[in-house]
A and B are shown apart, each in its own frame.
Chain A
Amino acid sequence: MRNFFSALSILMLSLLVYSCTDKDNPQYELSNVKIQLVYPEGYNPSEGVEVSLKNTSTGAVFTEKTGADGTALFEVPKGIYEASASEQRVIDAEVYLFNGVNSNVNAGTDNVEAVINLELSKGGSVVIKELYVGGCPKDDGSGYFSRDQYVILYNNSSATIDISDFALALVNPYNSQSKNNDYVNGELFYASEGWIPAGNGLWYFENNVKLEPGKQIVIAICGAVDNTKTYSQSINYANSEYYCCYDVEDYNNTSYYPTPSEVIPTEHYLKVYSYGLGNAWPLSNSSPAFYIVRPQGTTLKDFVDNPDNENMYGSNQVRRKVPVEWVVDGIEVFAKGQANNQKRLLPTIDAGYVEMTAKMGYTLYRNVDKEATEAIKENEGKLVYNYSLGVDDSTDPSGIDAEASIKNGARIVYKDTNNSTVDFHQRSRASLRN
């Protein structure tokens, strides 16, 4: 009953206001409104940002773009307005979202000045969509083939991102279940020093690579040939779109690195800055800790060459100390069924882990952000549900079959909470085999 009266009062009041305004301003009197966008500290205003003024009584919306000084000029009928602005910037391959609302701009006089205080939030960026490292059964039943690893990077944001200076890294100790000497008094000693170890070498792009929103890049980590003729459950990398890790001057183990399929252009080869021993990049088949690095304030080469960034594991295993803030995305993989798995990635990179059963052709696939994906209008009718490719109790809780939906033309937004326990699941089939 009380609610009824409240609603009635609001309705009455609205009617009164509406009738009064109408009555007091029989003609449209205009006001010059200057809206200044105020950015968080450290960020400069930019030109061309759209600012909206919405008349709170009529609902009329006016838009203008900012000038170089971050101001937008309006000529609007006098009244009370709500001013809002949002801007998306891509800085260092990260999407920064600036949003602000000023709900009380009183354009009652001829010249009015008001501000919108923008707040910053980080949007989705480039994520590891899939990591396939465990290998698959051989056709003759003699074991498993594992020299067919790949990673798929995906632009989860709505901006094109330049990933040319991204690098692929792995943590040594290579396996989660093996003894980890980095634990001192129960804690990873590098946690307090703000870095994460990169074992053996770092793979980098030699050429410019840009990733459009919702697009992906496939990187064969080893064995970039058509493996399916011999191993029918493996991957065929004979695809001109694909990239591959191949640097014969450092890693010349031809069983890991046969010369890539001739259809992969050489500009799609990632090269390596290798500083460890051995003739291959030892990404674990059972339980790697894999991550993407983007150097800041220096080049990858200078970083690698500087002995100050060196750290030794054991007597002869050289590592580099990658600052934690350089890490774009990471995934911590635990060997399923092992009791002694230990985390290597720090919580800021990956607060959890995803379990994997190796040798079965399984892959680690990122879960779909259901809410965000469904919120995209264009996805209507394109999303495929009833996802059934999870393994055992590990599946995508969104129920959306991302790959099938992409085929339908949907734009998938993946879950990115920096916690692979909730961000990833084990998929029974590598997506490149779809």
Chain B
Amino acid sequence: MKTKLLLILIFLITPLVGFSHIISGKVVDIKSKKVIEFATVWVVGTGIGTVTDVNGNFQINNLSDGNYEIIIRCLGYTEKKEKIYITKNTKLVFYLSETSLALNEVTVTAERKADDAATTYTLNRTALDHLQSVSVTDALSLLPGEQTNKYKTLTSSEQVVTLRGESLEMGNPDFGTVVEMDGVRLSANATAQSTGGTDLRNVGNNNVERIDVITGVPSVEYGDLTNGVVRIITRKGKSPLLVNISVRPNTQSYSLSKGIDLGGKRGIVNLSYEHVRSVSDIASPYTSYIRNAFGFKYSNAVNYSSGRNLSMDFSLNGNVGGLNSESDPDAFKETYTKKKDNALWSSVAFNYMINSNWLSNLRWGVTFSYSDKMSEVKTNKSASSAMPALHTTEEGYFVASKYEDNPSSPIILLPTGYWYVTTYNDNRPINYSAYVKAKWTHKIGNITSNLLLGSDMKFEGNWGRGEYYTDMSVAPTWREYRYDNLPYINNWASYIEEDLNVSFRNSSLNLKAGLRNDMTIISGSDYGNVSSLSPRISAKYSFGNTDTGFFRGATVRMGWGKAVKLPSFEILYPRETYVDRLAFAPGTMADGTTYYAYHTHPVTPIYNSSLKWQYSIMREVGADVKLKGVRMSLSFYYNSMMSPYSSTRFYSPFDYKLTDQSALETCLIPSSDRIYNIDRNTGVVTVSDKTGTLPSQELDYKVVKDFQSASMSINGSSSSRMGLEWVLDFDKMKSINTSVRIDGKYYRYKGVDEVVVPSRVNLTSSDGQPYKYIGYYVGGTGNYNGFESRRLNTNLTFITHIPKLKMIFSLRFEGTFMNSRQNLSEYSGGTRSYVIDDRGDYLPSATDKDIYDGDNYVVTYPLYYVSRDDMDTKVPFMEKLLWAYDNDRDLYNELTKLAVKSSYGYIFRKQSYSPYFSANLNVSKEIGRYLTVSFFANNFFYSTQKIKNEQTGNEMSLFDSSLITPFNYGISFKLKL
């Protein structure tokens, strides 16, 4: 198989015919007739293209005979596509129109990129302006079937994008969705304590030129993902000064941006600044999230006489801001929460257009990403008796002491009275990468072959020192865990991809096959090197393209691929945990002091050397059909998430000694003269007399038979996601200047966790000792170990665009026709949950009832259990419980504590809501040459509709519910100076 593949590759990369023709020409502003500099001129479906020079000239060499589609893009202008047929050297002039609502073609919706086999959507600047997005996440509501963002303010929570997946599901779909800005990965891998998505609140919104969203099987260029890629492309090129002012109840946004032509061959600089202030409560506008996003981009290109072209982009984007409540008068004096959300993303990219027989272009560059998510929380504390703060990192028994007596004591007694404590959490993830990729395009007859070879190295780490305190006399229980001591994740990826286009008379075929290898190197850890291969293929066949008749063309496409997600730091480096048990608690003295002693057992994290990298298998088929009056696009996908990152705990027996006040009742030494000593190893407490008058005394103790636990990262069970997405665009009805779009999605998720995990009941046994059994449950202790959810959303958008009035008006209805969830309790090796006749029962119903059959209380058993006395013998739980019921009542009583009963009878009844709707209104109007005014009202009829939950039979109001977007409105002014 491998040899065959190699032979095919050799065939493909062997040049058969050279190129000969040159196309050259100019790009000109259609109105002013001025030449346009820095416009990109690209040959669609190839790696060939160039950039116009100071005089608007371009030249592309080495094109052979045939049909080409040329795409011309320039900031502030509407993208232009033109088909040409070349048989000789050709001179062309392309006219671009400035983006304006006066144009006939204006897109304010997500456009499907037709030239990609993988489902990809583009959201352009006009759409973002019309939507009046504040965050990048807002814009993604324009994707088929997606709904308006539920956030009203930036203060409430992180804003994360999840493609083809939802929160609460297994398999971390948010973590598997990655975001890039100007080629820089805004990675979340090294963000501490998180295996989640990338918070996009700190990304400037007004400097975004367009957003590409790849939800289908992406090119092998993209790695370290499982669910899709969001690519943010910032402004590049000459532009007037753009001033944007946008106001809504919770949020105000002001931004400036300009593209300056430095003249001559000095290139272009794009500058942007955006200030956003979003408050949590409009009645008390103090606690706020601030974004000060800035952008600097320098672009230059050198056109050589040979037709070769070297372009360079240096981009520096970032943010200074975050959440701050310091000025909030409602907070107690001096208390505050400050969370920095600073970031710096930078990249240098070179693109050398060679257009030679052997190489079309060569790209190389470096990227750098750094975030500062330092949080500082100052809180007020008070206590009437001295509380212990444990800082012990070593094994043994330690007694507390006052800070003034021993500042380095492993246990410090916190003060009594009133004080403040400031908690710092220094979390500064960083990643940088270097890449090189080469594309070689050649044409043999009607076949165009694009071969891509590339490699990149990525390094991810964290410079933060973790949680820390500057004043140790008031620091609570805390152990240092420095992120900057954790080894970097280094990933070396190399990939090869062949993109083959075959043109027939009335149709074309595109085949793409690629292979990516990720070699993850984590030196200084038990993981060592992990290699993962991701093959991906896709195909597309277009036919019947015509401009007349009822049927005007169709494309069918398919894709299959594997995508691997690298682990997060949280998964890779489980924390050292400390089991602290109170070992001595003498009575509190008159001044509030008591000398607590604790036994601390540090638990070394368990590195799971067999941990696999999570991956998804993506499958997709789609069709795009153009009929008279309507364009349709359908995508069906079925993705399986395999070996998702998950974690479990392990338990082992652990004894400690406990001495309490009763042992001191007989102590003759007055409490103010006592010195308590605890033997670090044995835990025996000795009281001695400060004054030396009375002899020392050893205290009685009790042995507590407990457990200790440690966590370990594991691979969970697989889950599947399938869906159908559709877009129907009806052509504009000229009489009413209105076009209609219907888009929607059907989505189904199913995930059942069958990993057997231990769990402990935190109770005491009847003998007064901690509960001695550990149950092993299939997929955790919940009555359900998975669920299936379905969603059917349809959006209907009316877009009225009147070019004469330079006005666009859109009305969007968002309908949810299906929103259901069915809890599941499944185990391929048997049954894990049983119906009980009465909610008081512990034994399954004698009649064979189905847990899914209506209203039934359910009991879930562990598969087996182990006892503290014999941790190796796995006792089948149900069998033993039934036996104990008849033969050993005490054991039965104890074992029932491991059985988990449902609190409701309807737990396995399907939860589904009756359909519900909301509607948004957006208006944009250009006034004169310089001003555009936009207005929006989301959920403007402020739905008070009541919907029924089929599971409980209860009705709930949509008013202020989390199911639909809250009522919100705003206005924005955009000045073009």
A interface residues, Cβ below 8 angstroms from B: 138-143, 145, 148, 181, 223, 225-231, 234, 238, 248-250, 252, 254-255, 258-266, 274-275, 277, 301, 305-308, 310-316
Contact = CB atoms under 8 A, between A and B. Distances in A.
Contact of A259 (B382, B416, B585, B762): B585
A148 B763 CA distance: 25
A311 B782 CA distance: 17
Interface stretch (B123-131, B204-212, B654-662, B737-745): B654-662
6 contacts: A142-B332, A142-B418, A181-B903, A262-B587, A277-B762, A301-B766
Contacts of B333: 142
A228 to B, nearest CB: 8
Contacts of B591: 229
A274 B594 contact: no
B968 interface: no
Nearest to B769: A249
Contacts of B590: 226, 238, 261
Most B Cβ at <10 Å: residue of A139, A261, A316: A261
A262 B589 contact: yes
Given A226-B592, A229-B592, A262-B671, A145 B903 contact: no
Contacts of B416: 229-230
Interface of B: 332-333, 380, 382-388, 416-418, 582, 585-592, 594, 596, 658, 660-662, 664-665, 671, 704, 762-764, 766, 768, 782-783, 839-840, 842, 892-893, 896-897, 900-903
Contact of B387 (A226, A238, A258): A258
Nearest to B584: A259
Given A249-B658, A258-B385, A266-B660, A230 B588 contact: no
Contact of B588 (A231, A258, A265, A308): A258
B916 to A, nearest CB: 23
Given A226-B592, A312-B901, A313-B903, A306 B661 contact: no
Contacts of A313: 903
Most A Cβ at <10 Å: residue of B588, B660, B892: B588
Nearest to A277: B762
Contacts of A225: 384-385, 588, 592
Contacts of A254: 387-388, 582, 596
Contacts of A311: 839-840
B371 to A, nearest CB: 33
B582 A260 contact: no
A313 B333 CA distance: 40
Contacts of A143: 332
Contacts of B417: 229-230
Contact of B582 (A227, A252, A255): A252
Contact of A308 (B380, B766, B840): B840
B768 A249 contact: yes
A312 B839 contact: yes
B594 A230 contact: no
B431 to A, nearest CB: 40
B763 A230 contact: no
Contact of B587 (A234, A259, A306): A259
Nearest to B595: A259
B418 A140 contact: yes
Nearest to B588: A225
B903 A312 contact: yes
B601 to A, nearest CB: 16
A228 B382 CA distance: 12
B902 A260 contact: no
A207 to B, nearest CB: 11
A307 B592 contact: no
Contacts of A258: 384-387, 588, 594
Given A145-B384, A229-B416, A262-B664, 16 more contacts: A140-B380, A141-B332, A142-B380, A142-B382, A148-B384, A223-B385, A227-B384, A229-B592, A231-B384, A259-B586, A259-B587, A259-B594, A261-B588, A262-B661, A305-B893, A307-B897
A266 B699 CA distance: 15
Contacts of B661: 259-260, 262, 266
Contacts of B588: 225-226, 258-262
A58 B591 CA distance: 71
Nearest to A258: B385
Contacts of B762: 277
A66 to B, nearest CB: 46
A230 B384 contact: yes
5 shortest interchain CB distances as A-B pairs: A262-B587, A258-B385, A227-B384, A266-B662, A307-B896
B660 A248 contact: yes
A260 B382 contact: no
B596 A259 contact: yes
Contacts of B782: 315
B839 to A, nearest CB: 7
A138 B382 contact: yes
Contact of A248 (B386, B388, B585, B671): B585
Most B Cβ at <10 Å: residue of A255, A258, A310: A258
A141 to B, nearest CB: 8
Nearest to B782: A315
A5 B418 CA distance: 83
Contacts of B596: 254, 259
A143 B383 CA distance: 13
B586 A314 contact: no
Contacts of A308: 840
A249 B386 CA distance: 20
B387 A305 contact: no
Contact of B418 (A139, A226, A248, A260): A139
Nearest to A276: B763
A138 B383 CA distance: 10
Contacts of A142: 332-333, 380, 382, 418
Given A248-B585, A248-B658, A307-B842, A274 B383 contact: no
A275 B588 CA distance: 27
A226 B384 contact: yes
Nearest to B781: A316
A261 to B, nearest CB: 5
Contacts of A259: 385, 585-588, 594, 596, 661
Contacts of A250: 764
Contacts of B587: 259-264
A238 to B, nearest CB: 6
Contacts of A230: 382-384, 416-418, 592
A255 B763 contact: no
A313 B383 CA distance: 33
A234 B764 CA distance: 33
Contacts of B384: 145, 148, 223, 225-231, 234, 258
A315 B585 contact: no
A268 to B, nearest CB: 11
Contacts of A248: 582, 585, 658, 660
Contacts of B585: 248, 259
A383 B869 CA distance: 64
A228 B591 CA distance: 11
A140 B383 CA distance: 12
A265 B664 CA distance: 10
Contacts of B418: 138-140, 142, 230
Contacts of B763: 274-275
Given A248-B582, A266-B660, A307-B893, A255 B383 contact: yes
Contacts of B903: 181, 312-315
Contacts of A249: 658, 704, 764, 768
A318 B868 CA distance: 23
A225 B589 CA distance: 8
Nearest to B889: A306
A220 to B, nearest CB: 12
A306 B842 CA distance: 12
Nearest to B895: A307
Contacts of B592: 225-226, 229-230
B766 A305 contact: yes
Contacts of B388: 254
